[in-house]
Amino acid sequence: MKIGELAKATQCQVETIRYYERKGLLPETNRTERNYRVYGPGDVDRLSFIRHCRRLDMTLGEISVLLQLKDASPEDCSSINNLVDDHIKHVAVRIQELKSLHKQLINLRNSCAGSGSVNECGVLSGLSRALVEESNRSILNDRLVQGTHQVSGRHKAA
């Protein structure tokens, strides 16, 4: 099968496949006489695996490690489980951060009395002040949160 067919089979964009190849997640394939990449069912499996991992928000680095463990088929699965456990922790931390953020934003929003002028509004002045509440200060503290906004490429395309 050619790259376009693989793309359809895995719900993945053609460019993304080539990108994964460059990054070493997919092996370099055989080529046709005319230099087209040729894939087999094993490639569908491997790419599906990668995409599922990405959907679980693992980094390409983590996925790389998983693929190596998978390829090596070691005796026990503890290294895989450790990786997954770590990832679960990442996600849990992000959720806590975002919850704290959400709380702060709601507080901020509530500081607007109604439809008065900006000067009376409280939201802008709230933004001018440090508005970290006592609530979750220890978590959010001084760091930036990041990651609320989705990268939109896939959505536009799909």
Could you list the residues that contact a copy of itself (CB under 8 A)?
Answer: 11, 45, 48-49, 52-57, 59, 66, 69-70, 73-78, 80-81, 84-85, 87-88, 90-92, 94-95, 98-99, 101-102, 104-106, 108-109, 112, 115-121, 123-124, 127-132, 140, 142-151, 154-155, 158
Select 14 or 112, whichever has its Cβ closest to DNA.
14
Q: Which residue has the tokens 């790259």?
A: 3
Smallest separation (angstroms) from a copy of itself to the CB of 35: 30
| Residue from 56, 109, 116 nearest 87 by CA | 56
User: Which position among 24, 27, 30, 36 is part of the footprint of DNA (CB under 7 A)?
Assistant: 36
Q: Which two tokens stand for residue 87?
A: 């990832």
By a kind-dependent CB cut-off of 5 to 8 A, residue 136 interacts, out of a copy of itself, DNA, none, with: none
Residue type, 43: D
* Backbone region of residue 147 per phi and psi (left: phi > 0; alpha: psi in -120 to 50; beta: other values): left
Shortest Cβ distance from residue 75 to DNA (Å)?
29
The DSSP-derived string for 67-122 is HHHHHH--S-SHHHHHHHHHHHHHHHHHHHHHHHHHHHHHHHHHT--SS--HHHHS
Site for DNA in 85-144 (CB under 7 A): 144
Q: Return the bridge partners of 38, or none.
A: 30
Q: Work out what residue 14 binds among DNA, a copy of itself, none; the CB cut-off runs from 5 to 8 Å by kind.
A: DNA
Residue closer to DNA by CB (options 19, 113) is 19
